[in-house]
Amino acid sequence: MDRELRLEGVSRSFGTHVALDDVSFTVRPGRTTGFVGANGAGKTTAMRIVLGVLAADRGQVTLGGAPLTPALRARFGYMPEERGLYPKMKVADQLVYLGRVHGLDTATARRRTAALLDELGLADRADDVLQTLSLGNQQRVQVAAALVHDPIMLVLDEPFSGLDPLAIDAMGAQLRERAAAGVPVLFSSHQLELVERLCDDLVIIDHGRVVAAGEAGELQGEAAEAVAELAAELGARETPDAQLPVALIGVGGLPAAEITTVTVEPGVDVARLLQDEDVAAALLGEDLDDLHLVGLRDVPGELETLVRAASSELQVAQAAADAGLSAQEVAALTQPEPPALELLEPRPEGTVPPQLLVLLFAFLFYLSVLTFGTSIAQSVVEEKQSRVVELLVAAMPVRWLLAGKVLGNTVMAVGQVVVIVGAGLIGGMVAGQGELVRQLAASSGWFVLFFLLGFVMLSCLWAVGGSLASRVEDLSSTTALMQILVIVPFFAAVLPIDEGTQRVLSYVPFTAPLLMPARIVHGAVEPWEPVVAAVLVLVTAAVLVVLGARLYAGSVLHTSGRMKAAQAWRGLG
């Protein structure tokens, strides 16, 4: 198989910014090609296009003269500049998982994982959780992730960043070994000595255009100039605004009770305190509605939860004080009394009130969709923050990744509901409550069906909400629509509304998953009505899956900040 990789006339723009302009170069099999240029020159964009993570506006990428297919790209080894692995997963387990994502069977993936960890000096850390490793060892694991499936092509973005000298030598030996076996190797680096030592060929890019390409010996002076410029840019670092008053938060341990705080004067170098690990996080801002919780690489989950809870409580107290409300009035607003339930007609003995069944179904739907939907959104953000999403997208189409999240969580959510409903039926039979069992069985089947359709319809939107955010803190705004689409049917089902309105809402796709089962429980439907409502929900779910897939594909790789849906829609193109 001819493994010569060729980029021909590749161009890519983001809005008015031209990232790549008619880029052409070749990566030859059996040779290592260094890709050098300043920050923003277009190296990462070009590599992402090679992997199919981004689409080119013009031009083509070929391997052996033939256009690249998803099957071929899945056999590439890719190491993104922003490292992407699961921090709370064991080292060996996630290498085996990534090997299987790239098509290996379990036995082969385990064998390759063991061999690579031994070669990289990590055999004794195979069962350690990734985040417990030093940064250098985490980098070695990232290298292993790119090599575990024995790739036919290597595309490595800054692979030596953060490695110690021994690890650099080991990685260099790995690259030379792969090149000697005929594998084309393309890597970027700002370390001139490594470029000189490892590269057979060089490609120099500046402002989206290739300014020189050829054998390393012929281009040494130009490469040195480009790498020196890159090193100068890497020396610049931004710090938080020193004029902001700050409250610095330090953690004596993970338990919430051991959190301590210290207030410092304006002008303190917050970034230095975080880098020196004097504090776990810094809380910046003068107003309750404009606070920023700043961490170095992440913020402990317990700390983030407590800070958000404290902020919410203080904002409620402040709003109440501004409005002149008493403590009793605030309690009345935040903890309202539920409507009193009064039965005008007695129910049959041995059954439960229909309203109670509706309430149980409503809570099941509300809690399950909210819980699993939030889990979907958070998992997308975590994959974006850890950059593991680039590895996944490089190995499979984006729509598969979205489908996997939706289907996996749908199976778990529906399974949970089936178990709960089944437990209720079995409990009723054991207790000899025949009437109760018949009552529950008559309505639970329709509820499970509508739950399935409604969950699929909404879960795709939850994934889109996660892809539009770049931080977990952004989810409150990017998933606001999904929360409304869960809360509105819940209240429409549990609160008393007139029969005509309820009948109309039972056909609206977003409220039908709860309102139609509620009408079935009350015995107020014709036999054909649930079928029509189910078809409407199914059609809506299909439309939302298609629209959601486009928005997800256009935003899942955007990590620099929160994204609007319109930008995501345009981003795919």
List pLDDT tens digits, range 409-457: 888 888 887 888 778 778 767 776 666 667 667 667 777 888 888 888 8
Question: Are 144 and 14 contained in the same domain?
Answer: yes
Q: Point out the least confidently predicted range of 328-342, 441-455, 538-552.
A: 328-342
Instruction: Indicate whether 405 belongs to any domain.
Output: yes
Instruction: Let me know: does 305 contact 313? Beta carbons within 8 Å.
Output: no
Return the structure tokens found at 563.
């994204």
| Residue whose token pair is 């054909």 | 528
C-alpha angle with apex 273: 267 to 277, nearest 5 degrees? 170
Where a domain ends, among 199, 234, 269?
Answer: 234
Where a domain ends, among 234, 261, 290?
Answer: 234
Instruction: Indicate whether 347 belongs to any domain.
Output: no
Return the structure tokens found at 215.
């054998």
Question: Are 527 and 406 contained in the same domain?
Answer: yes
Instruction: Indicate whether 342 belongs to any domain.
Output: no
SS3 content of the chain, % helix, strand, coil (to 5): 55, 15, 30
- CATH number for 44: 3.40.50.300
Check pLDDT > 70 for residue 232.
Answer: no
List pLDDT tens digits, range 164-217: 677 777 778 878 888 888 889 998 876 656 776 788 888 888 888 888 788 876
Question: Are 17 and 158 contained in the same domain?
Answer: yes
Taking phi over 0 as left and psi of -120 to 50 as alpha, with beta for the rest, 374 belongs to: alpha
Question: Are 300 and 394 contained in the same domain?
Answer: no
Longest Cα–Cα distance of the chain, Å, equals 94
Helix (H) or strand (E) holding 264: strand 259-264
Question: Are 384 and 504 contained in the same domain?
Answer: yes
pLDDT value of position 239: 32
Instruction: Let me know: does 54 contact 45? Beta carbons within 8 Å.
Output: yes
pLDDT value of position 436: 61
Q: Pairing mode, if any, of strands 209-215 and 201-206?
A: antiparallel
Question: Are 437 and 293 contained in the same domain?
Answer: no
Domain that holds residue 454: 354-571
Instruction: Indicate whether 346 belongs to any domain.
Output: no
- Mean pLDDT value across residues 63-90: 84
Question: Are 321 and 228 contained in the same domain?
Answer: no
- Specify the higher pLDDT residue, 250 or 324: 324
- Spatial separation of the C-alpha atoms in residues 292 and 288, rounded to whole Å: 10
Instruction: Let me know: does 450 contact 512? Beta carbons within 8 Å.
Output: yes
φ, ψ at 557 (rounded to 5°): -95, 0
Q: Point out the least confidently predicted range of 9-18, 224-233, 356-365.
A: 224-233
- Spatial separation of the C-alpha atoms in residues 304 and 350, rounded to whole Å: 48
Instruction: Indicate whether 343 belongs to any domain.
Output: no
pLDDT value of position 427: 76
> Count of domains in the chain?
3
pLDDT value of position 541: 83
Mean pLDDT of the chain: 76
Instruction: Indicate whether 472 belongs to any domain.
Output: yes
User: Confidence band (pLDDT; 50, 70, 90) for 14?
Assistant: confident
Where a domain ends, among 234, 261, 283?
Answer: 234
Check pLDDT > 90 for residue 96.
Answer: yes
User: Confidence band (pLDDT; 50, 70, 90) for 223?
Assistant: very low
Question: Are 258 and 381 contained in the same domain?
Answer: no
- Mean pLDDT value across residues 110-131: 89
- Spatial separation of the C-alpha atoms in residues 253 and 264, rounded to whole Å: 21
Instruction: Let me know: does 513 contact 450? Beta carbons within 8 Å.
Output: yes
Strand, coil or helix: what is 563?
A: coil
Check pLDDT > 70 for residue 322.
Answer: no
Instruction: Indicate whether 348 belongs to any domain.
Output: no
Question: Are 305 and 375 contained in the same domain?
Answer: no
What b/e string do you get for 253-283 counting C-beta neighbours within 10 Å, with b at 16 or more? Answer: eeeeeebeeeeeeeebebbebbeeeebbbbb
User: Confidence band (pLDDT; 50, 70, 90) for 312?
Assistant: low
- Spatial separation of the C-alpha atoms in residues 117 and 144, rounded to whole Å: 7
**527 CA to centre of own chain:** 42
User: In whole angstroms, how far apart are CA 152 and each of 105, 182, 183?
Assistant: 17, 9, 6
Helix axes of 327-334 and 301-323: crossing angle, nearest 10 degrees: 120
Q: Point out the least confidently predicted range of 11-15, 137-141, 563-567.
A: 563-567
φ, ψ at 509 (rounded to 5°): -55, -35
pLDDT value of position 270: 62
pLDDT value of position 26: 92
The pTM score is: 0.54
Question: Are 386 and 499 contained in the same domain?
Answer: yes
Instruction: Indicate whether 242 belongs to any domain.
Output: no
**515 CA to centre of own chain:** 32
pLDDT value of position 343: 60
- Mean pLDDT value across residues 236-258: 36
- Specify the higher pLDDT residue, 34 or 295: 34
- Specify the higher pLDDT residue, 285 or 298: 298
User: Confidence band (pLDDT; 50, 70, 90) for 252?
Assistant: very low
pLDDT value of position 72: 85
Check pLDDT > 70 for residue 142.
Answer: yes
Question: Are 17 and 85 contained in the same domain?
Answer: yes
List pLDDT tens digits, range 505-526: 888 888 888 788 777 777 778 8
User: In whole angstroms, how far apart are CA 4 and each of 53, 184, 214, 466?
Assistant: 20, 7, 15, 38
Question: Are 322 and 211 contained in the same domain?
Answer: no
User: Confidence band (pLDDT; 50, 70, 90) for 58?
Assistant: very high
Q: Point out the least confidently predicted range of 337-351, 405-419, 472-486.
A: 337-351
Helix axes of 135-147 and 91-101: crossing angle, nearest 10 degrees: 30
Write the DSSP assignment of 21-37 as a string of letters. Answer: EEEEEEE-TTSEEEEE-
